Structure 1
């Protein structure tokens, strides 16, 4: 059965360890020093090493055996008393550090789980990542860098120990194919579900379950087998990503047109160079009933500003996207036109398409 239990940030366990482990190390070191002093002390009194070691052990741990040899001198009695006091103290200190490690870890996990539950309950329009393998980890890192809220789910508790989720983002250990786990992730309030499990059948099941629980959210699904792509779309996935095809396409572009591909990669990465620095940006414009573009082809609409635009795609109301749309593509209500243009021109284009009094990205319009 799925485990819908949240856990604290791995950092809380590390904090508990940083407090308790030094005590355990110090106690163990002190105990070892007492043992060495005792063995050497008895040996100096003429005892054999095995008798000395045995006497130290039964003295520290209070086994109750009689004296190995008579402790009949003041020096031996002082040595034995030192071993009793110092040895007991070292053992108690070591055990206390171990107990603190266990108790602090449990307390931190309990408080961490409670805090994480509150964090998840406060999320709105977030992304749910099902699967925290290599692809899920990369996706989480990108969303963190972009400042997008998300919840990560994985059935393997060690996945979050190996690669902790950055930024204190919430995560859940559980089977994403189970409804209670998705409910705990706030699927009813989620904007996007990304299922990137390594098993295609599991991704299909998550897609079916997710679509039934939230009919309006966007679902992105991973598929390793091309034959699974249609199944995922039929089950409700808006977009299906095939990592093998993407990797092959990337490599082919680097072979065929390496300079252009390297430039594009440099522009789109979150680095020192990006589209914003060039004054360019991608945007999308939703066509409402009042838009002058309705029932017209792309070849008929005017897409000009101070510098011009490039229509790179049209997202249909059924969720499909037409990339490199032809000039004879006719536009309908609720279509989303994806454009690439200069930042200063985007609001101007918005006013031409919206044709109503209001604002587009904060720019007043009166059309």
Structure 2
């Protein structure tokens, strides 16, 4: 158990332990000071060990009887008082123990310590993936196919509970945490020699840039694969010298380009990346007018490919505005 987890337990149980110690001490002191009577009628006093032994099974409500001799009425009166004092103390201690065991912070520290051990146990090359998404699940499967281990981080506990239901070929250490914090990345093993890359595909691209910069400081030998669709973010990621920006809009637009010009090449490319089989049918995109809903960065990437192949097109968007020439030529309509 880590020091943090031990400290949380001690902090939660400090007051209950003091209560139990004080109630035991009061009960034991009274048992020692109050005189008793042995079988021969002689006065005797319990030793501290005898008092501790009796109070122990009295407070736990086990009740082995009066020992070592039958108690006097004075002793029984004191025992009657001590029963209520010590039992209440024990109930308080047990309640505090249950509260400590179910404490979210304690659970987090225990899970964090287990996660660290799992990461340290990795002997093969591994990749850190930030966020549980469908795309990242497919990436994990591809990495496992080439025997590359994966470490997963996500700050959403519900998502990670669903992640546990995924069927992967290799075990994946998972951690609830913020991938934008240095301590979380260190726990994930970013400073390890066998950590080769970190994948950050957050929809907020500023976070991907932050991961790139943070990785640069923590371990410049680790490559960063980050999603970026904006030019400024892309340039900033490239400036870190370890970042590889990935623009999904350009990737999809490129595939549309290949499908329009050389569909069989697209089949070959998918086969190379193990996305399909060579026997799959090629996708032949029809020649004609294309209607695209939405004119954002993705729409602009498609527009370049449409122009390249001299295709007719029209974009429909209710929020964005296009250049005047597109509106006048009827290639853009602002509507729902």
TM-score by length of 2: 0.45
Which of 1 and 2 has higher RCO (CA within 8 Å, sep 6+)?
A: 1
Q: Which has the larger radius of gyration?
A: 2
